[in-house]
């Protein structure tokens, strides 16, 4: 794990890595470095993207990824934050990990984050004519369908 952290710090100096007080190393990366960093993580042996979650941190939207190297059983977390709430966009990861396909569609559906290059970037859970993104903190539920 130390080799991976050193490689990431040298190749992506803007990325921050948290190791203290967390179960797995947490890599915080900029949107510009997101795709190249994820390619480097895959090349380092992290062959399983087992969780990809949309996030609304208030000011920023983003994605939290949990990855595992199935040979060594090591795990890491990669987080990316997007300041643009009007047109949030990231490169798709489905060509790196096939499991990203449905995760990205769900994130698009519920948070409105568009994944450039995704093969089927459309709603997954909600009807096509649904307006808004119900997992965003600023989403207003006029029908009171969702109780918070």
> What is the rounded end-to-end Cα distance, in angstroms, of the chain?
40
Each residue's pLDDT tens digit, 9-44: 999 999 999 999 999 999 999 999 999 999 999 999
Interatomic CA distance for residues 133 and 103, integer angstroms: 15
pTM over 0.85: yes
The structure tokens listed for 54 are: 């949309």
Q: Is-contact 28 16, C-beta < 8 A?
A: yes
Q: Is-contact 23 72, C-beta < 8 A?
A: no
Interatomic CA distance for residues 124 and 103, integer angstroms: 10
Specify the pLDDT at position 144: 63
Q: Torsions phi, psi of 69, nearest 5?
A: -90, 105
* Domains, the chain, ordered by start: 2-116 (3.30.460.80)
- Which residues neighbour 67 within 8 Å (Cβ) at sequence distance 6 or greater? 41, 46, 48, 49, 50, 75, 76, 77, 78
140 falls in which pLDDT band (50, 70, 90)? confident
1 falls in which pLDDT band (50, 70, 90)? confident
């Amino acid at each position: 794990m130390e080799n991976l952290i050193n490689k990431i710090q040298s190749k992506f100096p803007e990325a921050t890595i948290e190791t203290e007080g967390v179960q797995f190393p947490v890599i915080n990366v900029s949107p510009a470095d997101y795709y190249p960093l994820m390619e480097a993580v895959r090349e380092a042996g992290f062959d399983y993207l087992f969780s990809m979650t949309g996030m609304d941190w208030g000011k920023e939207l983003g994605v939290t990824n949990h990855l595992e190297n199935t040979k060594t059983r090591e795990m890491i977390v990669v987080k990316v934050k997007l300041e643009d709430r009007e047109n949030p966009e990231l490169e798709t990861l489905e060509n790196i990990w096939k499991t990203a396909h449905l995760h990205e569609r769900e994130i698009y559906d519920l948070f409105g984050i568009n994944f450039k290059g995704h093969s089927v970037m459309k709603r997954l859970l909600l009807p096509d004519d649904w307006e808004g993104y119900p997992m965003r903190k600023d989403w207003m539920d006029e029908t009171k369908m969702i109780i918070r």
